[in-house]
Structure 1
Amino acid sequence: MLISDARSLEKRLPRLLRVLRAHIRIACLAAMVLQMTVLVAMILFRIPEERFTSNNFCGVAVLLLICAVAAVRQAAHVAFNAALERNDAMFTADGNSPAVSISAACPLRALVVLHVQLTGLRRDTFCR
């Protein structure tokens, strides 16, 4: 029983790592924007640094990061659905795991690729 569970985990682990890596990438970019906003606020509006080191600000920062990841996920989902409707993206069945083919001419290709990474699907590229 334990051996089969370990093998199952080994098969799912790369997909889980890809999904986590995509989410962490979004959170890092959102954190960088937040840091730049704080820096500009400190310089332009002369807000003291102590205001940005409080527990309240840290809690708000975490909530902002979570909201940023959720907003980017939603935007990527909407772009993916639009690409499916325009036939710029389509599902392909290769073996046990589904893959997504994305047209090179897709206008929202970056968001569609991000959606595929966030969901852990495999990605194939096709040209038209």
Structure 2
Amino acid sequence: MMNDNLARPLIDETQHKPQPYADQKYNQNKDIPEKTYKKGLTRIEMIVSSLFLSVLFIMAAGHITLSMQVSTMNRSIQDIKTESSLMQVENTNYEQNVQELSRYDRVYSIAKKNELKMNEEQIRNVFK
């Protein structure tokens, strides 16, 4: 009969009702609003994403500005190169004109027309 002390009364679980004290706790918990979390972005996430987007926008605008400046500089460099090549052609033409105008027979014919005499002592030949 020693096992009688360990026996517990058998309770049918379908007939089990919560005690009134537990009911009061349950009702009190219902009165307290539960914290509900919004689905979406928090303030910190919004701030970080807006900072990221503004930095991205500034970098895009800077890239466009720098690209425009580079293309403008390239265009001006091409213009300068074109002007330089035109000047070189013009200088070459002038050098040819100088060579043609300073030929000995041309100078001698002009001197004869103006009745100038040639003095050998005053002639100097200069070579480059």
Which structure is higher in RCO with an 8 Å CA cutoff and minimum separation 6?
Answer: 1
TM-score by length of 2: 0.29
Please say which structure displays the higher CA radius of gyration: 2
TM-score by length of 1: 0.29
